[in-house]
Amino acid sequence: MIRVLLADDQALVRAGFRALLDAQPDIEVVAEAADGEEALRAVRERRPDVVLMDIRMPVLDGLAATRRITGDAGLDGVRVVMLTTFELDEYVFEAIRAGASGFLVKDTEPEELLRAVRAVVAGDALLSPGVTRRLIAEFAARSKEPAAVGALAALTEREREVMALVGIGLSNEEIARRLVVSPLTAKTHVSRTMVKLGARDRAQLVVLAYESGLVRPGWLG
């Protein structure tokens, strides 16, 4: 059973999400929160698998709450998915940098929401390649000048190549076609790269690809 916590200051939004999620045989909403502080308390008490976190909330916003969750070693198994009204919200890139596993717009299709919750628990990519490309195009140019990251020295040449392809928004299947390998082999390379770099998930790998200078804004080919 996938345990979900809903954090949104709009009761109607929470009610709609709860009705959809609780109707699934493999998903259970274990708590709700109307602001970031409530969300933190509920996460520590209930230890959900996934937090659907609104970016804009009173008392403590979703971005600050996410940083506290992802920065707490005791909550390492909790994955945060940011909820936003607009797909290219100005805080989305910072949310992923802070440790969020991805983001969803609030008016997403029900099937997409369910797929996203299941995907993030399974450790798969939550951000679709198309959304990742738009995210990168919009925000990567605003990020800091890339600085060398020593951890990349631990990667093989093929792992660096795979990381760069993840960074430009390719899925495992697209990486497999680009490198002429099987999707399983591509997934294995991605997983090993995340382990070596200590990346929580694929979204963090995208951020590291930019921050290390391995990928630069505009490399969307």
Instruction: For 41-53, write each residue's pLDDT tens digit.
Output: 999 999 999 999 9
> At 139, is the pLDDT very low, low, confident or very high (cuts 50, 70, 90)?
low
pLDDT tens digit sequence for 82-116:
888 765 556 666 777 778 887 788 888 888 889 88
Segments of 2-49 assigned E as strands: 2-7, 27-33
CB 110 within 8 A of CB 191: no
Written as six digits, the tokens of 150 are 């020593």
Highest average pLDDT, of 91-105, 132-146, 165-179, comes from 165-179
For residue 204, is pLDDT > 90? no
The residue among 4 and 204 whose pLDDT is bigger is 4
Expressed in angstroms, the distance from the first to the final Cα of the chain is: 39
Give the pLDDT of residue 46.
Answer: 95
Q: Is 4 helix (H, G, I), strand (E, B) or coil?
A: strand
The candidate with the shortest Cα–Cα distance to 86, out of 27, 163, 139, is 139
Which range (109-113, 137-141, 165-169, 211-215) has the least confidence? 137-141
The residue among 92 and 128 whose pLDDT is bigger is 92
- How many whole angstroms separate alpha carbon 64 and alpha carbon 98? 9
> At 39, is the pLDDT very low, low, confident or very high (cuts 50, 70, 90)?
very high
Give the pLDDT of residue 221.
Answer: 43
> At 219, is the pLDDT very low, low, confident or very high (cuts 50, 70, 90)?
very low
Written as six digits, the tokens of 22 are 């609780």
Give the pLDDT of residue 220.
Answer: 46
Cβ atoms within 10 A of the Cβ of 101, count?
28
Percentage of the chain lying above the pLDDT 70 cut = 81
φ and ψ at 146, to 5 degrees?
-55, 140
pTM of the model: 0.71
Q: Which amino acid, residue 102?
A: G
